[in-house]
Amino acid sequence: MSKKIILCVVLLLATSLAPSSAKRKKTARKAAPKTEQRYQEIDNYDFLYTGEEYDYQDSYAAIDNLMDEAFSHIGARYRSGAKGPYAFDCSGFTSYVYGRMNKSIGCSSRDQYAKNMPIRNSEIQAGDLVFFTSPGSGRNVGHVGIVVDVDPVSGSFNFIHASSSSGVKVSNSRDGYYSRRYIGARRVI
For the chain, 189 residues long, give each residue's pLDDT as a single digit of tens: 566 666 656 666 666 555 544 444 444 455 555 545 444 444 444 444 445 554 555 688 899 999 999 999 999 999 999 999 999 999 999 999 999 999 999 999 999 999 999 999 999 999 999 999 988 888 899 999 999 999 999 999 999 999 999 999 999 999 999 999 999 999 998
- Write down the pLDDT at residue 103: 96
- Write down the pLDDT at residue 137: 83
- Write down the pLDDT at residue 45: 45
The catalytic residue among 8, 73, 107, 143 is 143
Do residues 130 and 119 touch, judged by C-beta distance below 8 A?
Answer: no
The catalytic residue among 8, 73, 107, 161 is 161
- Write down the pLDDT at residue 136: 83
> 0.85 exceeded by the pTM?
no
Is 73 one of the annotated active-site residues of the chain? no
The catalytic residue among 8, 73, 90, 107 is 90
Query: What strands lie across the sheet with 182-187, from one edge to the other?
Result: 117-119, 182-187, 129-132, 143-150, 157-163, 167-172
- Write down the pLDDT at residue 69: 97
Task: Using CB atoms within 10 Å of the CB of residue 107, give its burial: 0 to 12 exposed, 13 to 18 middle, 19+ buried.
Answer: middle
